[in-house]
Chains A and B, each alone.
Chain A
Amino acid sequence: MSRPELVAPPEIYYGDTEAKKYTKNTRNQQIQADMTYRALELLSLPPDEPAFLLDIGCGSGLSGEILDEEGYMWAGVDVAPSMLEVALEREVEGDLFLQDIGQGFGFRPGSFDGAISISVLQWLLNAETSHATSSPPHRLTRFFTTLHSALKNPSRAVFQFYPSSDDQITLISTIAQRAGFTGGLVIDYPNSNKAKKVFLCLMVGGGGHVPKGL
């Protein structure tokens, strides 16, 4: 089976049927939940302080439900209307936006205390049209630059994603650094094909070590 991001752009791939199927699949729910908890751990927010988070590619709200349970306020963006509709049906608490992250954000400086993103970054690596501004480097640059500005200093953004090559990792890391982020990869269970998970842990305002993988 091909990776979804190679089949079609996300707003097409996750049509009504696929959005419902993805959300109802209990295995997806469990994996998504585990990765959300791990992303929150890697965010290492100050304990006992309320936080306002951005869920990048919030989809149908599987991560959002966990943010709700954990007592975080959040806003979520996603490019697939069908996924957002499912999120509305599931009555998540966050504010939802229909947005293509490759076009960049308009959030004012310092809006968010942190950001998480589960299984989304790989979608930015595929060009959607032949137009010059749609190339992956352009899209990644707009995304990371405007995200960096939308985050408060200091804070973190943690992305779980599925890179398909080292070149992709280099491209993403280089552009994130150029946008002002520090940080790096956290790889959990690197020796297990099944359990291996890749997280990009980015920091605003320097400082802090990249956490160790499990």
Chain B
Amino acid sequence: MVRLMTHNLLACHAKGCTTNNFPLALKDVQIELRESDFNPDFLKGFLPKLDWPALVLAARQLGDETLPLQQPEMLDDEFLKNLHHVLLEIHIEEGSMTCPNCAHVYPISNGIPNMLLAEHEIG
């Protein structure tokens, strides 16, 4: 399973691909929703790691419009619950992620992204 929590941390690692290599573009995705325990402390600790615009873009692409375009300063419960859902409860089961720079395609099958590179793509 891959969730937006990890999608948001993932850049392309192909040889020489060091700029404009994030976020990986989601394509033809099938998602599944699975409930998970709400942990506000985890979310607050995770916020500084997030690239907010990339997260909002990915969430909206998957049909979730609950996150504001600007990261709010006040972390109220409603915001944290929406963030929890976006980061941890939307599972991408099938589809692919394409690097915006080198166009390498990382396929996602059965919930698992294939990050393997071909010999000529290894740095």
A47 CB to closest chain B CB (Å) equals 13
Q: Which residue of chain A is the closest to B116 with respect to CB atoms?
A: A100
- Assuming the A-B contacts A52-B46, A88-B111, A95-B2, are A108 and B10 also in contact, with contact meaning beta carbons closer than 8 angstroms in the complex? yes
- Assuming the A-B contacts A84-B112, A95-B5, A99-B116, are A111 and B45 also in contact, with contact meaning beta carbons closer than 8 angstroms in the complex? no
Interfacial residues of chain B within 68-123, with CB under 8 A of chain A in the complex: 110-117, 119, 122-123
Interfacial residues of chain A within 8-52, with CB under 8 A of chain B in the complex: 49-52
Residues of B within 8 A of A51 (CB): 45
CA gap between A105 and B115 in the complex, in Å: 9
Residues of B within 8 A of A85 (CB): 110
Does B30 reach chain A (CB closer than 8 Å)? no
CA gap between A88 and B111 in the complex, in Å: 9
Contact status A107-B113, CB under 8 Å:
no
A106 CB to closest chain B CB (Å) equals 3
CA gap between A125 and B80 in the complex, in Å: 44
Q: Which residue of chain B is the closest to A95 with respect to CB atoms?
A: B6
Residues of B within 8 A of A77 (CB): 115
What class of interface size applies to chain B in its complex with A? 20 to 34
What class of interface size applies to chain A in its complex with B? 20 to 34
Write the A160-195 contact mask toward B (1 if CB under 8 angstroms, else 0): 000000000000000000000000000000000000
CA gap between A95 and B12 in the complex, in Å: 17
Write the A61-97 contact mask toward B (1 if CB under 8 angstroms, else 0): 0000000000001010101010011001000010111
A120 CB to closest chain B CB (Å) equals 16
Does B62 reach chain A (CB closer than 8 Å)? no
CA gap between A99 and B117 in the complex, in Å: 9
Contact status A99-B115, CB under 8 Å:
yes
B13 CB to closest chain A CB (Å) equals 3
- 5 pairs across A/B with beta carbons < 8 Å? A88-B110, A93-B36, A95-B2, A98-B116, A146-B13
A-to-B contact residues, CB < 8 Å: 49-52, 73, 75, 77, 79, 81, 84-85, 88, 93, 95-100, 103-108, 110-111, 129, 131, 133, 142, 146
B-to-A contact residues, CB < 8 Å: 1-3, 5-6, 9-13, 21-22, 36, 39, 41-42, 45-46, 49, 51, 110-117, 119, 122-123
